[in-house]
Amino acid sequence: MRIKWVECAALSVMAALSVMTGGGSWFLALALGVTLLKCLLIPTYHSTDFEVHRNWLAITHSLPISQWYYEATSEWTLDYPPFFAWFEYALSHVAKYFDQEMLNVHNLNYSSSRTLLFQRFSVIFTDALFVYAVHECCKCVDGKKACKELTEKPKFILSVLLLWNFGLLIVDHIHFQYNGFLFGLMLLSIARLFQKRHMEGAFLFAVLLHFKHIYLYVAPAYGIYLLRSYCFTANKPDGSIRWNSFSFVRLISLGLTVFLVSALSLGPFLALNQLPQVFSRLFPFKRGLCHAYWAPNFWAVYNALDKVLSVIGLNDKWFGSAVPTHSPSLGDSLGHPHLHPDCHIGPRGFLRCLILCALSSFMFGWHVHEKAILLAILPMSLLSVGKAGDASIFLILSTTGHYSLFPLLFTAPELPIKILLMLLFTIYSISSLKTLFRKEKPLFNWMETFYLLGLGPLEVFCEFVFPFTSWKLKYPFIPLLLTSVYCAVGITYAWFKLYVSVFTDPPVGKTKKQ
């Protein structure tokens, strides 16, 4: 009976909201619509991440803080920063009303229907922060072209691209993760920087870092931008730095904010002398260059080449051994294009550099998970409704990025869902951006069109043809290999185009007022 009460309560709240949308607020209608879709996805397949989070609920609820980063009954040990642990702790206090058993550390792989319901609803509920962040981002997108038609306004398109983002939907609400509210924090901090509320933006990003340290990839962009645009309070008329306008006060206040947040997060563990253990959990360098499934980055191409060459018979031993030890620094150096001063003119330049950092880290990083592509896709949506060039890069990046997430959902019942949602999102994004930029040159050249269309036959081959062939037993990894390499081509191409656009596009804002 209790489940039904909760269901009824949640659905009554949504019903009340839906009556309000009858009054015509399109944003609320979009948010509610996607929430309803998320409710429908509750009974779908979930990955081991479900057990991971259940385990963390159990750890934070049943054990004292000193044990959190030492507990290892389950293989899914706590490997996110302390704020996330506190978040799970807060959730566990609600969880105990659903099912007390899930909070037992020894109940490995416990997944009763109430547990499922609680976990799924917690993701849906925390997405409220993401919705708010999208709302703030829409305020930063100006509709220069006076469009009377609602569906052609950049705000509307951006809302759909963010709220109904296919990658976020399947990773969060099927595969099961808590990326929604984390990306909400990131988008909110970006929005604050656009709105010139730098301190808030810095604070929000510092908080975000202590929720999930993967966002360290984009920390340099924040650092350099805040230094450039906030600490140096004025520009010369041509836009370059006025060195004598440096404000120590601002620098110190930024540093203090970051320091205080870190103190709040890591302080207790510093007091317990557990910092080395915490860091070893957060940065497990022993794991290896590539994940179980290869993220479609540079290393995937490298690995594929290696494999092909070894199958042919040319064993390039020297090729394989030299690279891994140097890769973190390789990733770092290639991922930091912010040395060019022009790329920091204004918040748009910052956003471009953020995306480039995220994408470069994805391309060359250590033990990258394919879900990290979302780190580049979501901020890119903000740029895509601004310029036609960015729109075309976004479309290539998002389509190939989203397709590369397909192997995450490998079960049969999810096949129609993922294909349908992917088609809907891709068709909508392409058609709406084409309509928005119809007065400029076409978004894709023939090569790009051909590449994107090639995703269709690839999917048909991997999911429908290959399982019935004889190669399935001999070379079962072929679909993954093909998907990974094909998407790596697209993502590399998008990365390259973005890189070029940072350095060749005229710096925005030299003549405009900031």
Partner 1 sequence: MFGDYEAQRHWQEITFNLPIKQWYFNSSDNNLQYWGLDYPPLTAYHSLLCAYVAQFINPDWIALHSSRGYESQAHKLFMRATVLIADLLIYIPAVVLHCCCLKEISTKKKIANALCILLYPGLILIDYGHFQIMYNSVSLGLALWGVLGVSCDWDLLGSLAFCLAVNYKQMELYHSLPFFCFLLGKCFKKGLKGKGFVLFVKLAGTVVASFTLCWLPFFTERAQALQVLRRLFPVDRGLFEDKVANIWCSVSVFLKIKDILPHHVQIIVSFCLTLLSLLPACVKLTLQPSPKGFRFTLVSCALSFFLFSFQVHEKSILLVSLPVCLVLSEIPFMSTWFLLVSTFSMLPLLLKDDLLMPSVVTTMAFFIACATSFSIFEKTSEEELRLKSFSVSVRKHLPRFTFLPRIIQHLFIISVITMVLLTLMTVTLDPPQKLPDLFSVLVSSVSCLNFLFFLVYFNIIVMWDSKDGRNQKKIH
Binding site for partner 1 (CB under 8 A): 1, 4-5, 7-8, 11-12, 14-15, 18, 21-24, 26, 29, 32-33, 36-37, 39-40, 42, 149, 151, 411-413, 415-416
DSSP 8-state assignment for residue 401 = H
Task: Indicate the residue among 12 and 315 with the shorter CB distance to partner 1.
Answer: 12
Least distance CB 187 / partner 1 (angstroms): 24
Buried b (16+ CB within 10 A) or exposed e, 366-392: bbbebbbbbbbbbbbbbbbbbbbbbbb
The two most distant CA atoms of the chain are separated, in Å, by 71
Q: How far is the CB of 385 from partner 1 (least distance, A)?
A: 20
Q: Give the shortest CB-411-to-partner 1 separation in angstroms.
A: 8
Q: How far is the CB of 26 from partner 1 (least distance, A)?
A: 7
Across the strands, what pairs with 290? 368
Closest separation in Å from C-beta 332 to partner 1:
45
Q: Using CB atoms within 10 A of its CB, is residue 431 exposed (0-12), middle (13-18) or buried (19+)?
A: exposed
* Complex with partner 1: residue 172 or 390, whichever CB lies closer: 172
Phi then psi dihedrals of residue 368, to 5 deg = -80, 135
Burial environment of residue 23 by CB neighbours within 10 A (0 to 12, 13 to 18, 19 or more): exposed
Query: Rg (Cα) of the chain, in Å, rounded?
Result: 23
**Smallest distance, partner 1 to C-beta of residue 36, A:** 5
Q: Give the shortest CB-150-to-partner 1 separation in angstroms.
A: 9
Give the nearer residue to partner 1 in terms of CB position, either 8 or 275. Answer: 8
Helices 154-163 and 374-384 cross at an angle (nearest 10°) of: 170
User: How many beta carbons lie within 10 A of that of residue 66, not counting itself?
Assistant: 13
In whole angstroms, how far apart are CA 484 and each of 297, 360, 461, 462? 8, 17, 14, 12
Distances (CA, A) of 160 to 53, 76, 113, 157, 369: 29, 35, 31, 5, 25
Rank residues 45 and 461 by Cβ distance to partner 1 and give the closer one: 45
DSSP 211-252: T-GGGGGGHHHHHHHHIIIIIB--B-TTSSB-GGGB-HHHHH
Q: Which residues contact 217 (CB under 8 A, 6 or more apart)?
A: 335, 357, 358, 361, 362, 365, 372, 375
Closer to partner 1 at the Cβ: 24 or 276? Answer: 24
Shortest separation between residue 23's beta carbon and partner 1, angstroms:
8
Number of neighbouring beta carbons within 10 Å of residue 87: 19
Query: Measured from the CB of residue 11, what is the shortest distance to partner 1 in angstroms?
Result: 5
Nearer to partner 1, 11 or 263 (CB): 11
Q: Which is nearer to partner 1, 173 or 198 (CB)?
A: 173
Q: Alpha-carbon distance 33 to 134, whole Å?
A: 15
Q: What angle do CA 109, 48, 378 make, to 5 degrees?
A: 145
- Give the CA angle between residues 187, 190, 195 to the nearest 5°: 125
* Residue among 8 and 308 whose Cβ is closer to partner 1: 8
C-alpha 319/C-alpha 307 separation (Å) is 12
Task: Give the pair of three-digit tokens for residue 229.
Answer: 């645009």
Look up residue 508 and give its DSSP letter: T
Q: Least distance from C-beta 415 to partner 1, angstroms? A: 7
Nearest CB to partner 1, comparing residues 21 and 303: 21
Nearer to partner 1, 22 or 313 (CB): 22
User: Residue 12 or 310: which CB sits closer to partner 1?
Assistant: 12
- Residue 243 main-chain phi, psi, to 5 deg: -65, -25
For residues 510 and 322, give the distance between their C-alpha atoms in angstroms, rounded to a whole number: 45
Opening angle at CA 174, ends 30 and 46, nearest 5? 160
Complex with partner 1: residue 32 or 231, whichever CB lies closer: 32
Name the minimum Å distance from CB 7 to partner 1: 6
Minimum CB–partner distance for residue 454 and partner 1 (Å): 24
